A and B are shown apart, each in its own frame.
Chain A
Amino acid sequence: MPRLLTALATAAALALPTLATAQDMNPNVAARHAVMDVLAYNLGQIGGMAQGRMPYDAAVASAAANNIYHLSMLDIAPMFAEGTDNASAQGSRALPAIWTDMDGFNARWAALQTAAEAMKDAAGTDLASLQGAMGGLGGACGACHQTYRQPQ
């Protein structure tokens, strides 16, 4: 029994740094990571169909594309508050270029809205339409990550 307690205590001690990191994460960084995670989940649905990883299902594709569209309509400005770049906020890969070029950054987010709207109209039509809209959507993601996100 004391051995079990020791083991539990050790496990708890080992787990502590992880818990501490999660608690210490800047809430702005945590929130925007959450938005990106939900975007990626929904992109996985339509992207999986576009790449042939799963069969095309108009209803599932439509729902995912709708979610992406609504996510793209979020006002993300508060999550990208001053002082939350990769040098200031632990766990963030957001480059200072976002804050020195906020107009350019906002234009990238606006481009995502345009691409998401096109996907919303295409995803439920048929697989070919979905595939046709996928390039624009992926390009919108990539263009922003190209300039404003640090590599791993």
Chain B
Amino acid sequence: MLARLGTFALVLAAVGGGAFWVLTRPASLSADTLTALQSHSADPQHGEQVFWTAGCASCHTAPSVDATASTEARMVLAGGRSFVTPFGTFRAPNISPDPEAGIGGWTLEQFATAVMLGVSPEGAHYYPAFPYTTYTHATPGDIADLWAYWQMLPADPTPSAAHEVGFPFSMRRGLGLWKMLNFDPAFATPVPEDPEAARGHYLVEALGHCAECHTPRDALGGLDRSQWLAGAPNPVGEGRIPALPPQGWTAFDIAAYLETGFTPEFDTAGGEMADVVANISRIAAPDRAAIAAYLVALRASPNP
């Protein structure tokens, strides 16, 4: 009897483990996405615009690179910044084109799989401190352009530092379950009818990842999309991140802030937002206006 019970328990564990294994399996790109990536005629100049909009430099530059750093300094993705969260301390890795310390040995497919699915070339899940749940909405063309621009970035030999994450979050396979809950291929808000606001919707939801800080998170660290951009506790420190758009701000105010860092009252962006402004000030002015148009339209119909 006992032996039979033991066998039953073993079978149950095997089935459960098998189901866990299947459910948490890292995804790969669809055939359509792969075709779109490979057939795209890559434009590194446009890739530079994607680079600044997606804000890669905010997290992946060395800790000593602040918002006043030169464009050249912001192009060195040596990694090393720490992000202290309730789940542990994450350290941004070196993603410069160095073949040893960075990602210089990657293919376009591996790059797109990492950025759009949060899966490494070795088939492991990345922690969602890397905002792939945003980037999954990007067009394959933008990702291919970004990769073309990547080839022009300087290589840096600084080795990546390890994350400090305790059990159970140290089990990367479990992130597959997190992805089942939080990896949504649909946009959070409907595409606005106005073309300028629609462009801003794409820039915010697919590249700019404003929601990573401006939307509150649930107990498992997933974004509460029912409170889209409604303001949230600071995910990496003290204080609060404000709701978007800030009360009383016009589209002009938002675009001016993203370009200069000055609020309408001539206070300045601080904290993580200083780096965001450093990046967004480097994109084309019509794209800043588009982001502003989307946010102002969002106020008219907040939190769908």
Q: Which residues of A approach B to under 8 Å, CB–CB?
A: 36, 40-41, 43-44, 47, 50-51, 86, 93, 95, 111, 134-135, 138-147, 149-152
- Counting chain B CB atoms within 10 Å of each CB, which of A40, A134, A145 scores highest? A145
Assess whether B275 is in contact with A146, with CB atoms less than 8 Å apart.
yes
The answer to whether B237 and A141 touch across the interface, beta carbons within 8 angstroms, is no
With an 8 A cutoff between CB atoms, is B270 at the interface? Answer: yes
A142 to chain B, nearest CB (A): 5
The answer, among A146, A149, A150, for a CB contact under 8 Å with B67, is A146
Q: Is B297 an interface residue (CB 8 A)?
A: no
User: What residues of B have a CB within 8 angstroms of the CB of A143 in the complex?
Assistant: 66-68, 274
Query: When chains A and B are docked, how far (Å) is the Cα of A6 from the Cα of B267?
Result: 41
Instruction: From B238, B261, B272, give the contact of A138 (CB < 8 A).
Output: B261
* CB neighbours of B277 from chain A (8 A): 142
Which listed residue, B68, B260, B273, touches A51 by the CB 8 Å rule? Answer: B260
Known contacts A93-B239, A150-B237, A151-B271; decide if A142 and B256 are in contact (CB<8 Å). Answer: no
Point out which of A86, A134, A146 has the most chain B C-beta atoms below 10 A from its C-beta. Answer: A146
CB distance from B83 to the nearest CB of A (A): 14
Do B267 and A40 have beta carbons less than 8 Å apart? Answer: yes
Closest chain A residue to B240, Cβ basis: A152
Task: Apart from A36-B267, A47-B266, A141-B268, list 12 A-B contacts with CB within 8 A.
Answer: A43-B262, A47-B260, A47-B262, A142-B68, A142-B274, A143-B68, A145-B274, A146-B66, A146-B269, A146-B270, A150-B238, A151-B242
Task: Return the chain B residue nearest A40 by Cβ.
Answer: B266
- Does any Cβ of A come within 8 Å of B193's Cβ? no
Nearest B residue to A46, CB-CB: B266
A51 to B242, CA, bound (A): 24
Task: Please state if A150 and B271 are interface contacts (CB–CB under 8 Å).
Answer: yes
| Residues in chain A near residue B269, CB distance under 8 A | 142, 145-146
Number of A-B contacts (CB under 8 A): 80
Considering only CB atoms, which chain B residue lies closest to A134 in the complex?
A: B260
Q: How far is the CA of A50 from the CA of B256 in the complex (A)?
A: 10
- Residues of chain A within 8 A (CB-CB) of B67 are 139, 142-143, 146
Q: Given that A51-B256, A142-B261, A151-B239 are known contacts, is A43 also in contact with B266, CB under 8 Å in the complex?
A: yes
Q: Report A54 CB to chain B, min CB distance, Å.
A: 13
Residue of A at shortest CB range from B213? Answer: A151
Contacts of B158 in A (CB 8 A): none
Separation of A44 and B268 alpha carbons in the complex (Å): 11
* Cβ distance A89 to chain B, nearest Cβ, rounded Å: 14
Cα(A93)–Cα(B240), bound, Å: 11
B265 part of interface (Cβ distance < 8 Å): yes
Q: Which chain B residues border A139 with CB–CB below 8 Å?
A: 67-68, 261
User: Is B241 at the interface (CB under 8 A from chain A)?
Assistant: yes
Complex contacts, B274 vs chain A, CB 8 Å: 142-143, 145-146
**Which B residue's beta carbon lies closest to that of A115?**
B68
B234 within 8 A of A: yes
Q: How far is the CB of B273 from chain A (nearest CB, A)?
A: 7
20 CB contacts below 8 A, A to B, read A40-B265, A43-B266, A44-B265, A47-B262, A51-B256, A86-B238, A135-B260, A138-B260, A139-B68, A139-B261, A141-B268, A145-B268, A146-B67, A146-B269, A146-B275, A147-B66, A149-B270, A150-B238, A150-B239, A151-B273
Among residues of B, the one whose C-beta sits closest to the C-beta of A96 is: B238
Chain B proximity of A111: nearest CB distance (Å): 8
Pick the contact of B270: A41, A50, A142 (CB < 8 A). A142
- A152/B262 in contact, CB under 8 A: no
- A146 pairs with B256, CB closer than 8 A: no
Task: Determine the residue in chain A with the shortest Cβ distance to B238.
Answer: A150
A150–B267 Cα distance when bound, in Å, is: 14
Least distance between B200 CB and chain A CB atoms (Å): 20
Q: Which residues of B contact A40 (CB under 8 A)?
A: 265-267
